[in-house]
A = this chain, B = another copy of it.
Amino acid sequence: MTTPSPTVFVVDDYAPVRRSISRVLHAAGFAVAAFASAEEFLAQYDPRTLGCLVLDLAMPTLDGLELQDILAKAGSVLPIIFLTGTADIPKSVQAMKHGASDFLTKPVNDEDLLSAVRVAFEKNRSVRQQQTELSEILARLATLTPREREVLEYVVTGKLNKQIAGDLGTVEQTVKVHRARVMQKMRVRSVAELVRLTQRCGISAR
């Protein structure tokens, strides 16, 4: 299993634009993969790939905004740089509201494009970093038994062992055992660290 290398995906139905953009990006040292339609891109795209997407707004079948929607619903965090030849303000605003990294107009200035791509790469790197940390935490959480998980939630709200025991209808010693396993499985050595971890994944919202 090969990990795909960071790539700029270019999706535009107009071949000269694809070529021109690909050339500029390639000359700047980026790996580029160009597609003539959103469908082609979706068929090829490996979500694990780092990078960003340079996306034409107006395309025949699936347009840019629709692809943005599809990717978002699929949980993608690939930053999108839109390109458009038409001056459609509402669409640019919608794209930005939905999290587009940037929105450029054709003909696009080379430096603007490269700068946008660099920003997008950095965003992607940072989001992936956070995702990695989050999934590490979730992996640890997954090793907890239901009871341990329950105890965890009480612990991070600052409850005492005896209170937890009372609420769970058991005794303090039982709670201590679960609690010790929680600390061990979550790989922390203090309640403070535990609270930090769990804060990052929405636990303990009470």
Chain A residues close to B by CB (< 8 Å)? 84, 87-90, 92-93, 96-97, 102-103, 105, 155-159, 188-193, 195-196, 199
Contacts and interface: CB of A to CB of B under 8 A. Distances in A.
Contacts of A89: 84, 87-89, 92, 103, 105
Contact of A196 (B88, B92, B93, B195): B195
Nearest to A101: B97
A158 B196 CA distance: 10
Contacts of A193: 157-158
Contacts of A84: 89
A193 B88 CA distance: 49
Contacts of A190: 157-159, 191
Contacts of A93: 92, 96, 102-103
Copies held by the complex: 2
A162 B157 CA distance: 24
- Which of A87, A90, A190 has the most chain B CB atoms inside 10 A of its CB? A190
A188 to B, nearest CB: 8
Contacts of A90: 105
A134 to B, nearest CB: 16
A188 B191 CA distance: 15
Contact of A156 (B87, B157, B192): B192
Given A96-B97, A158-B191, A199-B199, 6 more contacts: A87-B87, A87-B89, A88-B89, A90-B105, A92-B96, A158-B192
Given A84-B89, A87-B87, A93-B92, A157 B105 contact: no
A189 B158 contact: yes
Nearest to A82: B93
A102 B199 CA distance: 31
